[in-house]
Structure formats: C-alpha cells, structure tokens
Amino acid sequence: MNSIEFYFEDIEPISFQEDFLKNQIENLVINEKYQLGELTIVYCSDEFLLEMNKQYLDHDYYTDIITFDYVEKNVISGDLFISIDRVNENAENYGISQLKELYRVVLHGVLHLVGYKDKTEEEQVEMTKMEEFYLAKIDFKELKV
C-alpha cells in the first residue's frame, strides 16, 4: 500500500496544496528509483519538535525537521515531523515564501529517505543541490494557498 498522510500536532491547520505536494513527493521518489510506501508528515510547533528531538535523538535544540526512516529495500516509508515555527523563521531569514520553505523542508526529509545525508560538509552540499533541483521543478507563482 502506498500513501502520504498529513497531520497537525498542537498547531492550527495550514494551507499547503496537499495534492500538489503529494505529486512532488511521488515524482522525487520515482526519479530516485524508489517506490512509495507509507509516508506520514506531521506539522507541529517548535516546542513539540524540541521534545521529540530530546526524547528520540537526545538532542536539546530546535530543528526544522526530524525524519524517522522505515525504508525497506527500495520502498520509501517514514515519518516526517516538521516545525512550522522553524519553517516560518527560515523563510523570513532566506527571504522566500513560507510555502517554498515548507516544500524545501518536506523534500529534504524525503531526500533523507532515499539515501541522501547531511552530516558532513560534502553531504550538505549534495543535499542542498538536490533540494534546489527538485524545487526548481515547481512554479510557486502558480500555487494558490
């Protein structure tokens, strides 16, 4: 079974073009030669994600995303927890729309699931390159939220 589900934890729902984002995720997965399994994306607050970061990763700092990888062979499954507070702050800092930053963070999480890492500087450069590659395929001016 393949599915992409979106949830909101401790925040008000936001508008983000759900079906369009699902298509972008599916295209990335196919392009990277994987199959889609079950993917859950949970939008939450800084505080919620900080507690998860402490509990599951033993990290005591804010982050924009935590990815739990349940990939088996070439079937992508996982849980992405995304702080909307971080997304909004990043968007302001980068001078881009909140929607574009949200999509970047989601794609970043999916790129982790297909094998991209970002621990070293070299890996970070490759991750950023791939984020930009997939973001370039999206016409954000055409998206209405």
Where are the domains positioned within the chain? 3-135
Q: Can you give the pLDDT at residue 54?
A: 96
Distance in angstroms (rounded) separating the CA atoms of residues 79 and 105:
13
Q: What distance in Å separates the CA atoms of residue 2 and residue 36, rounded to the nearest whole number? A: 6
pLDDT of 145 strictly over 60: no
pLDDT digits (tens, 9 = 90+) for 71-82: 999 999 999 999
Q: Sort residue 58 into left (φ over 0), alpha (ψ -120 to 50) or beta.
A: left
Q: How many CB atoms lie within 10 A of CB 34?
A: 18
In this predicted structure, what is the pLDDT of residue 4?
98
* Per-residue pLDDT tens digits for 15-32: 888 999 999 999 999 999
Determine whether the annotation assigns residue 108 to a binding site.
yes
Residue 1, token pair as written in the block: 């079974």
The answer to whether residue 45 scores a pLDDT higher than 60 is: yes
pLDDT score at 24 = 96
Share of the chain above pLDDT 90, in %: 90
Q: Is 112 annotated as a binding residue?
A: yes
Strand partners, 75: 35, 72
Average pLDDT in the chain: 95
Q: What fold characterizes domain 3-135?
A: Collagenase (Catalytic Domain) (3.40.390)
